[in-house]
Structure 1
Amino acid sequence: MLYWLLYQKLFPYFRIFRIFRYLTFRTVCGSLTALLIGLLIGPYVIEKLREFQIGQYIREEGPQSHQKKSGTPTMGGVLILISILVPTFLWSDLSNPLVWLVMMSTLLFGAIGFADDYIKVVHRRNQGLTAWAKLGLQLLVSGGVAVVLVGLETHGNYSTRLMVPFAKRFRPDLVIDSLLHMPHLWWLAYVGFVVFVMIVIAGSSNAVNLTDGLDGLAIGCTIIAAGALTVLTYVSGHVVFADYLELQRMPLVSELTVFCGAMVGGSIGFLWYNAHPAEIFMGDVGSLALGGAIGTVAVVIKQELLLPFIGGVFILEAVSVMLQVGSYKLRNGKRIFKMAPLHHHFELMGWSESKVIARFWIMALVFALFALTTLKLR
């Protein structure tokens, strides 16, 4: 909105507003705005959550050291959503359809998490939404994103071609390559693309959700992943950098840099209150929204295959749960880890909560830096 007002409308009369044309300036403004929103309204949100007695329920089978956290205000993801979406609305070019797509995806995933938290906290039903209901809604939103991307692809504003890490020439097209092999089943090629996008985005959303188990763990890893996405988004939309790094340039993508910057700033603002010992938890409304946002941005900028490195800790947490459940069912109750997700395993090994958090942040940073190095190692 401010971009439209200050640059597109007032720039012809006030040349000082020329600065608002620069994406880097608007990204910094968006990030700082998100940070300030988080810091300024954080105490108000915490107070209101306490007033409405929206406190965290701690499952009995979890680590006993976590029982003291029971009653801590949760559903703080509302603060995260405000901190991300408002600056994006203010500082990005709202004529860009990809900006609206990513914002709507984030908001809808947040709505799923809000419904789950509302049932658990307000109605005192500890299970919240059933696992199948939650997954079904996530797949529905992810499928909607995929359908919109197919529509943009038909107008030349998106590509279904994959960017493969470490490979310069190998860039398979999920739709075109399939059409060449089965021209009479053209619809099946698009169905395959939609399913792929659904798996990536819904998987990302659930992975962040599983990571949200310690004070500041998920939000700290999100800051790092969002920072990496900010760089990847900027270079993917920049004509010089995209050509130098042999990336598939997509001009519309560059505007998402503002969104990613806002995600970094908003997450830092939330970490101020979520750091150990946490004054507020993000709840599913925050974790599902952040995971959905990360997955959606990765799909839009064609870095789906790089996502396991961008969010490496999230993937490790999700895989640990799958391995634990698989082992329990297939090996007659035998477990691989002391407890899943993975962060609880290290807690039960004797690591303090702060040590687990700090070391997982370090791993997240290493993964993200590795993801960025693949831009040149091609």
Structure 2
Amino acid sequence: MLLELSLWLKPYISGFNLFSYVTLRAILAALTALLVSLAVGPWMIRKLASYKVGQSIRDDGPKTHFSKAGTPTMGGSLIIAAVTAATLLWADLRNHYVWILLFVLISFGAIGFIDDYKKLILKNSKGLSAKAKYAAQSVFGAIAAYWLFVSADVPQATTLYLPFLKDFAWPMGIFFVVVTYFWIVGFSNAVNLTDGLDGLAIMPTVLVSSALGVFAYVAGHIVFSKYLGVPNIPGSAEVVIFCAALGGAGLGFLWFNSYPAMVFMGDVGALAIGAALGAVAVIVRQEAVLVLMGGIFVVETLSVMLQVASFKLTGKRIFRMAPLHHHFELKGWPEPRVIVRFWIISVVLVLLGLATLKVR
């Protein structure tokens, strides 16, 4: 929106030429999303509290969590609003990747909103059934996957690449839709499972989205992509704006979500940002790198899968409680220690992911 205005004003005022640079607009998008979050956050928390949209606590969970009962949740809607506003203000709205990412963010956020609304407002403890939630995720995930497939204008946009394997390139064809679907839906649920402690999910989200922004910038730059051995995806540089907005909104949300949290993300936020990360990774052709950088999300999900499989097959549990962060709490780790150590691991994984830019 503001890009169009700056292009119109550029012939009259040369300084507006600066807004044609994606790096400047990415910085402004991050700051815009951060300021929107900080400005709207207190009002939203008061509003959620007035509606008595409080978090319910599992009886079998760590006893230290009982004090969190009643904390306002559905705060993820703040992230969605901030990201959407910043992206619409600073991105090139003629770019189809921008609209696909906003579609994924908002549609998956809507699924989470309905689930949270049923649980917290209508007092239906089950919320959306697992089948209904997965069906809705599947519909929107499949739409986004097919949209990316039909809008791909270069072969490399639907080719699978792997880090460390320079000569590996598999043109996926229609199978691209399947891979994209699983990455969007899979990471949507992975972030949702990770969102169990104050700030645990949002800081890795900020780190991973920022790193994916670097990949998006490189993939959209024909010289840098060739030099670093990254597939050149025309138009993907605008994805940097979305990634920056997600990072800024995440930091703004962390202001209120840090321990002890004033507000929780809820499914509305976790499902949305997880799906968005999956979609960004697919666009910039870094699905495998997302698995590495988002390793916290992956391990948390695997811990749940292993726990369920072990209990069904042997009647025994591998962990004291799943997801994994609860296992460490029940071992006696204070919540802040679990959170910060998971953050540290996330930083290391993101740095390793960025290192793949040169090790190819």
Could you say whether these structures have the same fold, taking a TM-score greater than 0.5 normalized by the shorter chain as the test? yes
Residue 297 of structure 1: aligned partner = 280
Secondary structure of the structure 2 residue equivalent to 1:53: coil
For the pair 1:166 / 2:152, whether they are aligned, the reply is no
Q: Are 2:45 and 1:57 equivalent residues in the alignment?
A: no
Deviations 1:86-112 (A, max 9, x none): 000000000001100001111001000
Contact 2:156 2:231 in 1 (8 A): no
Alignment of 1:303-322 (within 5 A): 303-322=286-305
Q: Is the Cα contact below 8 Å between 2:220 and 2:237 reproduced in 1? A: yes
SS at match of 1:213: coil
Candidates 332, 340, 347, aligned match of 2:329: 347
- Which aligned runs of 4 or more in structure 1 are off by greater than 4 angstroms? none
- Contact 2:161-2:169 at 8 Å conserved across structures: yes
Cα RMSD, aligned residues only: 1.0
Tell me the distance in 2 between the aligned counterparts of 1:17 and 1:157: 35
Quick check: 1:48 aligned with 2:47?
yes
Q: How many residues align?
A: 360
| Match in the other structure for 2:150 | 151
The match for 2:180 among 197, 222, 243 is 197
Change (3 A) 1:158 1:4: farther
| Counterparts of 1:61 and 1:121, CA distance in 2 | 20
- The answer to whether the aligner puts 1:131 opposite 2:114 as a matched pair is no
Q: Using the alignment, how far apart are the partners of 1:284 and 1:320 within structure 2?
A: 19
Q: What's the offset of the Cα at 1:268?
A: 0.1
The 3-state SS of whatever aligns with 1:249 is coil
2:15 is paired with a residue whose SS is helix
* Paired residue secondary structure (1:337): coil
**Normalised by the size of structure 1, how large is the TM-score?**
0.94
Give, in angstroms, the shift of residue 267 of structure 1: 0.1
Counterpart residue number, 1:368:
350
Corresponding residue number in structure 2 for 1:265: 248
1:1-378 superposed matches below 5 A: 1-6=1-6, 8-153=7-152, 155-156=153-154, 159-175=157-173, 190=174, 192-331=175-314, 333-378=315-360
Equivalents in 1 of 2:156, 2:150: separation in Å? 9
What CA deviation, in whole Å up to 9, does each residue of 1:293-328 have, x standing for no partner?
A: 100101111111211112110001000000000000
List gaps (5 residues or longer) in structure 1.
176-189
Please name the residue that 1:186 is paired with: none
For residue 172 of structure 1, give the secondary structure of its aligned residue in structure 2. strand
Q: Which amino acid aligns with 1:314?
A: F
**Any conservation in 1 of the 2:112–2:268 contact (CA below 8 Å)?**
yes
Q: Does the aligned pair in 2 maintain the 1:157–1:252 contact within 8 Å?
A: no
**2:156–2:232 Cα contact (<8 Å) kept:** no
8 A contact 1:152–1:158 mirrored in 2: no
CA contact (8 A) 2:54 2:120 kept: yes
Task: Decide whether the 8 Å contact of 1:229 with 1:310 is kept in 2.
Answer: no
Cα deviation, 1:192-248, whole Å, max 9, x if unaligned, reads 332221111100000000000000000111111111111111111112210110111
Distance verdict in 2 for CA 1:28–1:203, change over 3 Å: same
Deviations 1:61-117 (A, max 9, x none): 221111110100000011010111100000000000110000111100100000100
Aligned partners of 2:295, 2:42: CA distance in 1, in Å? 31
User: What letter corresponds to residue 140 of structure 1 in structure 2?
Assistant: V
Question: Shift in Å at residue 149 of structure 1?
Answer: 1.4
Q: Tell me, in whole angstroms, the C-alpha distance in 2 between the residues paired with 1:97 and 1:86.
A: 17
User: Aligned equivalents of 2:163 and 2:38: distance in 1?
Assistant: 37
SS of equivalent residue, structure 1 residue 336 = coil
Separation in 1, partners of 2:288, 2:342: 22
* Cα separation, 2, equivalents of 1:128 and 1:357: 27
**Equivalent residue of 1:193, what SS?**
helix
CA distance in 1, matches of 2:16, 2:300: 46
Instruction: Give the distance between the partners of 2:241 and 2:178, measured in 1 at CA.
Output: 28
Letter in 2 for 1:353: E
Give the counterpart letter for 1:262 in structure 2.
A
